[in-house]
Chains A and B, each alone.
Chain A
C-alpha cells in the first residue's frame, strides 16, 4: 500500500506543528521520520494513523483518500512509544484482541485466532510468554508484544512511534535489526518516527528529516548523510565542525585557512560557514602543504576502533573535533599536547543569509 501525504498542515493553537508536508511513500518501503523533539514528526505519524486530524491537506492509501476515515477503519498497525499494552490482559489476549473484537462475519474462528496469535508470538520470540501479563515482561519484550499486536490485524500500513526510544542501547540495536528483517520478510509499508539519527540511517530505506514542522530533506540514508542540503541536516546527522569565515572568489578564508569552494566562484567577500565532519579532517605531523593549519591536541579518547581528538587551533584559538581510525592513530603516534597540522579533506559551504540555524 503506497501512502501519499499531500499538503498536510496542523496547528496547536498558535504553534504550527506541521506546515505543508508532502511525502510520497512507495509500497513496501520502510521510511524513517527523523527530527529533533518538536519537529512535528510524531504529529505527522498520528495524523497518518487518524489519531489526530489535520487542519488541511489529504492522505491517500493507494488511491483511496482516507483523510476523513476513522482510525479503526484505516487498517493501520500502530506501535506506541510506551507500548500501551493492555495491562489487564495476558500477552496472548493482547495480541488476539484485535481479531476477537471483529464483527462476527469477518472474525476468524477461535482456533484460527489461536494459530495466528501463536504464529506471531513465535515471530517475536515470545511464544513461551503467552500467559504472562505485560508487567511481568522486560521493556524489549513488551515492545515486541506491541509489534505482534499491531501485526495481528494484518495492517496495510505499519506505523511506529519512537518504537525503541525507551529501551537501553543494546536492546535497541538488536530490535532495530530485527525490525529490518521483519520488514524485509513482510514487505509491509512502514513508517517509523525517531530522533536517533543512527537508528534512522541504520534501518530505513529512506529518511525524511524534519525540523520545525517542515521537511528539510528526503533521501536514502547515504544521500542525506553524504549530501546534506542544509546546515540543519548537516548538524543533525552527526557531529560537525563549523568554520565561520569569508567567502571570496571561490575560496573560503578563515584564520589561516584558504579552502576551495568552487561552487561560489562569483562570491564577493561574503560571510559564510564551512561544514566539516570530524572524519573529514586530516591530521599530519609535518607541514606538508601550505593550506594546513597548526593545532594542539587537547584531548584524546578512544572508543573502540575510532579515536576522537579534541584540538585547539593556534591561529584562531578555536576548538576542532577530529576522528581517525585506530590504525592511523597508532601510525602517527599522537600524544596530548602535541602540535599537528590539520586541514579539511571535504567541506560544504553555506551562506548564512540563505539559512537560519
Chain B
C-alpha cells in the first residue's frame, strides 16, 4: 500500500472493506472495487476474505486437534497432546461448571467456539498491512480484511448458529408447550385465568426481546471488541507514514496495544464460549 498517494480516511476505509464477490449493478459477477459497490451487491454476495481466513484458521484448528486426538494415548502424553489436553480440560471444566443438563454436544461446541474465535481474533495481532500488502503485490486481491471476527457476518453467523441450537434444545427438552409457556407465562404470573391471558402479550414482549437479545449481544460483543481493536491498530499504522519519530512512537504503541490485545482476544473467545454454555444450559433447564 502506497500511503503517500492516499489520504488517511481512504487508508482506513480501505482497511475496513471486505473482499466481496457478487453481482455488480450491471449484471456481471465479480469482486467489488469499493465499499459502495460491495453495498450495492446486497445480500447475494460473499466476503471472500472473511470466509477464507475463518475457514483457514478453523481448518488449522480441527486439523491440528484431530491429528493429536487420533494419536492420543492413555499413557504419558507428549508435548502436543499435553497442550491439546490442557485446552480440552479447561473447556470441559467450564462446561461442567455452567452446564447442568445432559448433552454431549455442548462441550465440543464450546471447544470449537473457544479455539476458533481465539484464532480468528489472533489474526488481529498480525500487523494490519502485512497480508494486504502481500496480496496486492501478488495481484490476488485489492481488499483483504484478515480478521474474520471484525466482520459482523462471521460473528452473527456463529451467534445465530448457537441461537438455533438453543431454540432446538428448548423445544426438544421442554416441548413446544413448555417453550411457549416460558415465553408467555413469565415473568408476570397470575392465578386468575383471565388475568393470565391478559398478561400473555406483556410477557411475550419481554421474553421475546430477551430471547432475541441473546444472539445479538453475543455477536455484537465480539464484533465490537474486535472491530475497535482493529481500528486502533489501523490508526497506529497511519503513524508510520508520518516521519521516523512518529513511526517509532507508533511502533511502541503498536507493541503495547498488541500486548493488551492478547488479553482482549482471549477474553472475548472465553466470553463467547461461556455465554454459549450458559444459553445452552438455559435451554435445558426449566426456570
* Pair from one complex: no
